Chain A
Amino acid sequence: MAVTEKAMHATNGHTSPPASKPADGYTIIGSRPVRPDGVDKVTGRAIYGADVRLQGLLYGKVLRSPHAHARILSIDTSKAEALPGVKAVVTGADLPTAADKVEDLGESAINLKYLSANILAHDKALYHGHAIAAVAAVDSHTAEEAIGFIEVKYEVLPPVMTVDDAMADNAPILLDGLRTDEMGEMGSKPTNLAKHFRHQQGDLAAGFAAAEVVVERTFRTETVHQGYIEPHTGTAQYNTDGQVTIWASTQGTFAVRNQTSEILRIPVSQIKVIPTEIGGGFGGKINVYLEPVAVLLSKKAGGKPVKLVMSRTEVLQATGPTSGSNIRIKIGADANGKITAAHAELYYEAGAFPGSPVGAAANVVLAPYAIDNLQVDGYDIVVNRPRSAAYRAPGGTNAAYATESVLNEIAEKLGIDQAHIRLINGAKQGDRRPDGVQHTEPIGLLETVQAIAESDHYNTPLTGKYQGRGIACGYWNNWGGKSSATAVLNADGTVSLNEASTDIGGSRASIAMQFAEAVGIGYEQVKPRVGDTDSVAYNDVTGGSRTTFSTGMAAHNMGVEMLSQMKERLADVWEVDAVEYADGEFSGGDNHISFQEAAALIYKTGEPLMVSSTVFPRSFGPGFSTQLADVEVDPETGKVTILRYTIAQDVGRAIHPSYVEGQMQGGVVQGIGWALNEEYIYNEKGQLLNGSLLDYRMPTALDLPMIETILVEVPYPGHPYGVRGVGEVNIVPPAGAIANAVANAIGSRMFELPMSPARVLEAMKE
């Protein structure tokens, strides 16, 4: 039974772009201008990582481990070095000895020894695809041939692939020095359990005792990849004076600089990182993989620049992904549906080195709801898979999938509507997150549930036997982080805005819009550019949904400061006490001039005008999203088709609504892939079997309907325009919403992601 085109919610022929008009009370914010980098990106002129071309450029390739877990006994590179055209070969032995200490270098803390060992394996290969050696040669084919001549002797060890493998008695140990950290108390024995922590509030036993209904379930989710379409690249030149230049496609140039500095023991002052355009990141382009290797190769090759580009298979084998997990959730509720107690246990696979996103997951798992009695236990576990990287609301999708599934079971048992149970329990200002931190400012969870409950979608009945409908909520904490920017007033009245947040999804536009709004000039008068690490002060990564929030705050501050300085300068020139600015015109005494004329006058009459702003907001508004999915299940094949999908998200204030909608739609579709198809499949030796985009099956245009968006605006008071991060929370609910819809469609519940056709068929037999 195929789902027909008509059954999917169609576009009603509405295809012209939405009107671009500012929000009430604003002149720019809320409009939908074309992004400054747009023309370059639709004409192919934009330069991405792999597009960098330099004089004398060498091409590199990386030799990777065929084994998931092996001791490296010896590496012989002599035959590769002898191949004509080969200019340099490096192995882990070329890396300086890394300190055994934990540092915070980008967005998360990591032991420097592990960071170094992930770039080029030290004594052990810890996953299929772990980098062992690298070659630079005159062209990529020669480099590819050369890595085939490198001889590596391995002692193959048994692979440890899952939570259960890793926690078993007598499990093989991945990292000899690893001990379990239980909130500062270190275990005494070698282990694969890196960390255990707990959040606890109220009285769990009393809460469950007071429940009318208790549901306890165990879930399994598989490893998934961020899936950016641009593979990782890194180009570097080690100059003979010791200065290093890196061209990077990265979420954070300063994160690349810091990591490279620590791995290679080169002072940050000797490293300049130049950002290229970036072809998607989603958290996966914060960790470095290739850049320090390119620096090493360039140094060995006498200072010639070296470019490394991963194949898609390398991307899937050795970068990203995010954690697979085992999750146990127990929730109790009274007869009215009010949650009386909840206990969550989260076991997250960190990959080869500690650092899964279980810390964030431990909040996400119960944060949409106000719960007096709760406990969350988080476990960070190493396995022979690639070191996990951040992926859009890291850890959140798995956790919410489990909670939202159990919550719907409770609603079904009590005969309560699935939107209603979320309204009964939804968190609001004054409530606390699972870790105890209080929401002291307004939050928009209840507004998003209400928006879904009132939507046309929710009030349109399903029409088919194998159709189902599911709701889920999600939370993401968002982030502030450090941002820096400068703005130069040009003589023609334009402003050159120099910032350092690499632009992955239109942030040059959203930042320029906030500057233009603050100054009261047109968007087109602001010329934003993303500078290198020598041109702006330190700037955190484009991640954590922070860029439009924090860098936008810096832009706003600069706008206010520029206006203030312009007024002072004009007051001096005009010899008046005060200058006013309104509707694009400066006035003082009998003088009235436009912004453009003022810029020319300031240029002529004194020193150039430049302002800067550096910010580090400690507080930021969390994001909530409630989502509604309709699915249809094919009873013959088990294939799940998304019929209709609606997202309501608290976006604080939508600076550029088209790009906010785009974030929501994009995050949801990644979540749909996670829910239905995407998973890492390993054989018994721990080798990845589906390392291509044919077999690692991400959603295509044909798999989806239009994704409807409802922008709920509960402004965050700590930002001048009320901005909340919008990039991540959208990926938190989809797996839960779809799981609830599938359960509704087939009448039985599934406890494993992805809900691929074979698994759905299996569930339908029960």
Chain B
Amino acid sequence: MAKKVMVQTVINNDDTTFVCETRQTLLEVLRDELGMTGTKEGCGNGNCGACNVMLDGVLVNSCLVLAVEAEGRTVTTIEGVAEAEGLHPIQQAFLEHAALQCGICTPGFIISSKALLEQNPNPSEHDVRLWLAGNLCRCTGYDKIVRAVLDVASAGQAKAGA
């Protein structure tokens, strides 16, 4: 058995300490050790974006991050996106636009979209497509996903302008 190390992090605003092997990815620890299975594995090598999380506010593929790299850092996963008063506007928009079919890629898309809108609150269609090019969806053809993200952005702009 490989030697285990202790890692202290903040996950979705909760202080979280876990023990892991150095070879384990952040994705594996989130899912198998912490039971946070909302973050999905689609490819295991950074090509599909289903495992996307935020690490210190930066979008990462959690399958390409070792769990020990989370030491002293903050992690946001899909489980931390909804707000106390209900769904995040991006989550709500995905539902209203029918921007998911099977839903396996959805957590990754929501995390990526949130990261985009935090950086660029008023993206063009091209901006959205470029930013989301790291997330694969095989069901929707992306049309309704792109519309959902643009909808949230334009609602945010309307709110900011009000």
Contact = CB atoms under 8 A, between A and B. Distances in A.
Interface of A: 5, 10-11, 13, 15-17, 32, 34-35, 37-39, 41-48, 50-51, 53, 84-85, 140-141, 226-231, 277-282, 309, 311-312, 504-506, 656, 658-659, 661-663, 665-670, 692-694, 698-704, 706-707
Contact of A670 (B106, B129, B138): B138
14 contacts: A10-B125, A44-B79, A45-B38, A53-B37, A85-B1, A141-B21, A229-B48, A662-B139, A662-B140, A669-B142, A692-B47, A693-B45, A704-B142, A707-B143
A134 B28 CA distance: 21
Nearest to B96: A17
A32 B87 contact: no
Interface string B40-54: 111111011010000
A146 B94 CA distance: 43
Contact of B104 (A279, A312, A656): A279
Contacts of A693: 42-43, 45, 47-48, 136
Interface string B10-54: 000000000001010000100110011111111111011010000
A7 to B, nearest CB: 11
A694 B47 contact: yes
Given A41-B106, A701-B132, A282 B138 contact: yes
Contacts of A706: 125, 143, 146-147
Interface string B84-99: 0001000101111110
A441 B14 CA distance: 61
Contact of A229 (B21, B102, B145): B102
A50 B40 CA distance: 9
B141 A42 contact: no
Nearest to B88: A42
Contact of A5 (B28, B36, B124, B145): B124
B129 A704 contact: yes
A642 to B, nearest CB: 11
B43 A43 contact: no
Contacts of A659: 98, 101
B138 A701 contact: no
Contacts of A669: 140-142
A50 B140 contact: no
B63 to A, nearest CB: 10
B87 A505 contact: no
Given A229-B42, A229-B50, A659-B98, A280 B138 contact: yes
A46 B2 CA distance: 32
Contacts of A50: 31, 37, 40-41
B137 interface: yes
Contact of B138 (A228, A704, A707): A228
B5 to A, nearest CB: 15
B96 A34 contact: yes
Contacts of A230: 40, 42, 102, 104
B68 interface: no
A227 B138 contact: yes
A38 B100 CA distance: 8
8 smallest A-B Cβ distances: which pairs?
A44-B38, A279-B104, A669-B141, A41-B103, A665-B141, A658-B98, A44-B78, A505-B101
B120 interface: no
Contacts of A309: 41
* Main secondary structure on A side of the interface with B: loop
B135 interface: yes
A46 B138 contact: no
B115 to A, nearest CB: 15
B48 A666 contact: no
Contact of A279 (B37, B40, B97, B133): B40
A13 B38 CA distance: 32
A663 to B, nearest CB: 8
B27 to A, nearest CB: 11
A229 B77 contact: no
Interface string B109-123: 010000000000000
A72 B61 CA distance: 39
Contact of B43 (A45, A312, A665, A704): A312
Nearest to B144: A662
Contacts of A15: 147, 150-151, 153-154
A227 B104 CA distance: 12
Given A42-B87, A43-B81, A658 B141 contact: no
A11 B125 contact: yes
B126 interface: yes
A278 B154 CA distance: 32
A37 B94 CA distance: 13
Nearest to A658: B98
Given A15-B151, A668-B141, A38 B101 contact: no
Given A11-B150, A17-B151, A44-B107, A692 B98 contact: no
B128 interface: yes
B75 interface: no
Given A42-B87, A227-B138, A706-B146, A51 B102 contact: no
Given A229-B105, A666-B140, A704-B141, A53 B35 contact: yes
Given A15-B147, A43-B79, A706-B143, A506 B132 contact: no
Contacts of A141: 2, 21, 23
A278 B133 contact: no
A46 B91 CA distance: 14
Contact of A312 (B42, B102, B105, B142): B42
Contacts of A35: 95, 98
Contacts of B107: 42, 44
B47 A701 contact: no
A44 B37 contact: yes
Nearest to B151: A15
B93 to A, nearest CB: 8
B108 to A, nearest CB: 9
B141 A39 contact: no
B37 to A, nearest CB: 4
Contacts of B105: 229, 279
A4 to B, nearest CB: 9
B100 A41 contact: yes
Contacts of B141: 662, 665-669, 699, 704, 707
Contacts of B23: 141
Contacts of B160: none
A505 B106 contact: no
A43 B107 CA distance: 7
Contacts of A666: 101, 138-141
Contacts of B37: 44, 47-48, 50-51, 53
Given A15-B151, A43-B82, A279 B135 contact: no
- Among B31, B94, B96, B103, residue most surrounded by chain A Cβ atoms (within 10 Å): B103
Contact of A32 (B21, B77, B98): B98
A703 B132 CA distance: 11
A15 B151 CA distance: 5
A505 B139 contact: yes
A22 to B, nearest CB: 16
A604 to B, nearest CB: 35
B130 interface: yes
Nearest to A47: B37
B138 A698 contact: yes
B45 A701 contact: no
B98 A506 contact: yes
A646 B110 CA distance: 27
A282 B47 CA distance: 20
Nearest to B126: A5
A279 B144 contact: no
B137 A702 contact: no
B129 to A, nearest CB: 4
Given A230-B102, A670-B138, A701-B129, A665 B47 contact: no
B132 A662 contact: no
Given A141-B23, A280-B102, A312-B43, A658 B144 contact: yes
